[in-house]
Structure 1
Amino acid sequence: MQVTSSYGVEIRKQNIPIRHTLRIYRSAVSYLIQVYKEAWGELSEISNAKKRFNEAEHLVHGTKKNQARYDFDLHFPKLPSYLRRSAIQHALGSVASYETRRELWKNGKLTGKPKITQENHAMPVFYRDVMYREAGETEDAAYLKLYDGHDWKWFRVRLLHTDMEYLRKHWTGKKASAPTLEKRHHKYFLRFSYTEEKNLSKTAVKAQTICSVDLGINTDAVCTIMRADGTVLGRRFISFPSDKDRLYRVLGRIRRFQRQHGAGQIHSRWAYAKRLNMELSRKVSGAITACAREYQADVIVFEYLKMQGKKTGSRKQRLHMWRKRDIQKLCEHQAHRSGIRVSRVSACNTSRLAYDGSGIVARNPENHSLCTFTAGKQYNCDLSAAYNIGARYFIRELIKPLPETERSSLEAKVPAVKRRTSCVYADLRLLSQELGSRYTA
């Protein structure tokens, strides 16, 4: 499969006309959006994307063989052809999206009448050789074709040394796509994308080693390395207490500031808290992937975590700041780069049921990470959940390909596997014993 990675290189502050270039590019996109909105009736009849793009370009760009219907070339003279085509592509996508949403709104499938905005936040793509040139393999610079208010000229742009060192260390010899300009935190970046061909693990289920992960709030993640017969090869508790403590201190300052001064002047503090939270997500996902690589796992198993609706209680802010989806998304990308697959199972009752099959656990009110089984045994609740997550994956993958008669026979011997939302680690052990006895017999 193809795995796409991207990295943003910061442009050092200097006297280059980036704002002029952005202004004229966004003005061109706004002009084209208005044009294609008027001409969408004839453009929508062209089903082929390439032919539609060519017809859209003929409407605004005149040549010896084509008379343009709109005076785009008069409003934006000397606009580079590649930049014009990038603007056309962006405007076509915006109008197509608007028309699709408008049809859904007309049919009652979408609430709220959609709007198309002329003031956009489009960013130009600097195509190689015509808009972007590399200064040298060892230089921390590049050449960009920018608009200085009068004409399009080449400008030498200095790039951040640490970013360039990272690209040289990890991506040397791999071809990057045309860089896209982006703006973050009042700084400009050139974002490069790299595409790799990776072969994901094709190990049979019975020979697989998985890393089942239970994401939490007190403990960031608990990883369990497991085989198909229920053998546990390793366990790891992942937690970054100093990072979480720093985040909670910032949230406390925000809470006190809002109580005294209101929420009107707190945007910068919230932005800082979000950056800390995102950095914590990157560290957690990296630690999970490192654990899976260390034990040569074939699959990383997560839960389907859906937390919709209003959050209440004393822990609602922690639940709101919990970036569970970002952790899974980052971990999935890193896992695919290492050839590891990612799978998900139902999260229902994974923490509520004891891994030994004894039933519902009782949470410790003083330490929420601990629980008490029915037999009186105390155990880590997150670790028990990680066992159950891995067991549900193997139960599903072992039973799913079996013929109906054999599956029914197994379910009769191990009735607990019929209902996937109540399966636990003990059920996997019973299922593994039953499958082993059948094959030996």
Structure 2
Amino acid sequence: MRTISSYGVEIRKQNIPVRQTMEVYRQAVGYLTEIYAQVWEDLRKIPETKKRFNTAEHMVHMTKKNTAQFDFDLRFPKMPSYLRRSAIQHALGSVSSYETRLGQWKEQEPGVLSGRPKLTCKNHAMPVFYRDVMYREGAEGKDEAYLKLYDGHDWKWFRVYLKRTDMEYLRRNWKGKKASAPTLEKRHRRYFLRFSYTEEVTLTKTPVKEQIICSVDLGINTDAVCIIMRSDGTVLGRKFIDFPSEKDRIYRILGRIRRSQREHGSAQACGRWAYARRLNTELARKIAGAVTAYAEENHADVIVFEYLEMKGKISGNKKQKLHLWRKRDIQKRCEHQAHRKGVHVSRTCAWNTSRLAYDGSGIVLRDGKNHSLCTFSTGKRYNCDLSASYNIGARYFIRELLKPLPATERSLLEAKVPSVKRRTLCVYADLRELHLQMEILKTA
């Protein structure tokens, strides 16, 4: 399996024409997009991508053996060849996407026509600095690089100083691995060089009965509850992952935003909202890193999440917390980090995982004052998120154990343990019973 990781290295403030280079590149992409939109009927007749690209380049670039139809070289003199080809590729992709969307729009029924697609020429394209011709690494151990930039008159080499902490991270974690050509990136009025690294990894192929899983219940009160479990239901470890200081900082900023909006209106709170979003993104990174680290520490073969899909209008006194809850972002980051370690990621149905007690006693009653606690029908007090994580891991094993069995054997086990027929009602106690019946069936 191939995984791609990227990291943005901040360019320190200095007198280099990064902004001018970005503007010239975007102007070139916009000009080429207009050209290829005019001649798209001729380009679309060429089925092969490489031939289409070569034809498009011959239309705008003058050589000894070729006369260009358009004055691109006069408008953008001395543009490096790799940067010109990158702009051509971007423009072709924009026009092709527009024509596809336009065709789909025309095929709609007359009464269902929505807004007509638009061809955007002034897009947010960012230049790619290809190695040796536009990007050169600095001396070993130094936080610098050399970029070919446009100073308003000509394309020249400039020395760029990079942020020390970012470079130390790359040396520590990606030393000896070749990065792809860096792409210029602009975030929060700062410029970055984004490096991408490609790795070939082999995911674990451990049989289901020998697997160790990390079952994860993501929550709002507690960020994550992790359970290390075997296929017979044996629990090897439990961990509550929580970052109260980070959440307290977010809630304090949200309180300031509410007060500011009451006094001055919503227009004055844009900066604080951006700060709150950055804090929330950083919290998601920490949660994902902690979950992956705990799974790797316990040699887990699979990380199991709930499939969380919230639709419709969110109401109630916790609707703001639910809106800020980055559940899918956490799972996406965990999946990427886990695949780099050779660990699988799986998801199960989220219905009734928190509502049903893990011991099979039925529906639980949530505590009104402390929503993390619940009471079983037997009177037992327990952590609701911990009970849910037991059920999540059990549902994964029930599904994977029953899936490869022949129909007759599966029907026999379902008759012995009727609750496994409906996956949305499976709990941890059902996995224990299913494992017992499978052992009895094996010895019979």
The two structures have a TM-score, normalised by structure 2, of: 0.97
Aligned to 1:387: 390
Change beyond 3 A, Cα 1:111–1:381: farther
1:144 aligns with 2:152: no
How far apart are residue 110 of structure 1 and its match?
7.6
1:145-160 matches, within 5 Å, as 145-160=148-163
Instruction: Report SS of the residue matched to 1:264.
Output: helix
Aligned to 1:37: 37
Aligned to 1:105: 105
1:199-238 matches, within 5 Å, as 199-238=202-241
Give me the whole-angstrom Cα distance separating, in 2, the residues matched to 1:49 and 1:232. Answer: 54
1:255 aligns with 2:238: no
Aligned to 2:442: 439
Aligned to 1:63: 63
Determine if contact 1:104/1:110 at 8 Å carries over to the other structure.
Answer: no
How far apart are residue 107 of structure 1 and its match?
2.5
Of stretches 286-295 and 109-118 in structure 1, the one that deviates more from structure 2 is 109-118
Instruction: Report SS of the residue matched to 1:255.
Output: helix
CA shift digits 1:343-369 (9 cap, x unpaired): 001111111111111111111111100
CA shift digits 1:34-65 (9 cap, x unpaired): 11111222222333222222222122112222
1:103-182 matches, within 5 Å, as 103-108=103-108, 111-182=114-185
1:327 aligns with 2:326: no
Give me the whole-angstrom Cα distance separating, in 2, the residues matched to 1:46 and 1:299. Answer: 46
Instruction: Report SS of the residue matched to 2:148.
Output: strand
Instruction: Report SS of the residue matched to 2:268.
Output: coil
How far apart are residue 186 of structure 1 and its match?
0.8
Determine if contact 1:2/1:197 at 8 Å carries over to the other structure.
Answer: yes
Supply the AA of the counterpart residue of 1:83.
L
Root mean square deviation of aligned Cα: 1.2
Instruction: Report SS of the residue matched to 2:266.
Output: coil
Give me the whole-angstrom Cα distance separating, in 1, the residues matched to 2:324 and 2:386. Answer: 23
Q: Percent identity?
A: 72
Instruction: Report SS of the residue matched to 2:267.
Output: coil
Determine if contact 2:214/2:304 at 8 Å carries over to the other structure.
Answer: yes
Of stretches 209-218 and 102-111 in structure 1, the one that deviates more from structure 2 is 102-111
Give me the whole-angstrom Cα distance separating, in 1, the residues matched to 2:100 and 2:254. Answer: 40
Give me the whole-angstrom Cα distance separating, in 2, the residues matched to 1:9 and 1:190. Answer: 5
Of stretches 139-148 and 400-409 in structure 1, the one that deviates more from structure 2 is 400-409
Determine if contact 1:124/1:180 at 8 Å carries over to the other structure.
Answer: yes
Give me the whole-angstrom Cα distance separating, in 2, the residues matched to 1:111 and 1:411. Answer: 49
Give me the whole-angstrom Cα distance separating, in 2, the residues matched to 1:156 and 1:35. Answer: 35
Instruction: Report SS of the residue matched to 2:180.
Output: coil
1:359 aligns with 2:362: yes
Supply the AA of the counterpart residue of 2:48.
N
1:333-348 matches, within 5 Å, as 333-348=336-351
Equivalent pairs, count: 441
How far apart are residue 198 of structure 1 and its match?
1.0
1:19 aligns with 2:19: yes
1:430 aligns with 2:420: no
- Structure 1 gaps of 5+ residues are none
How far apart are residue 321 of structure 1 and its match?
0.3
- Structure 2 gaps of 5+ residues are none
Give me the whole-angstrom Cα distance separating, in 2, the residues matched to 1:357 and 1:52. Answer: 63
Supply the AA of the counterpart residue of 1:52.
R
Aligned to 2:28: 28
Instruction: Report SS of the residue matched to 1:266.
Output: helix
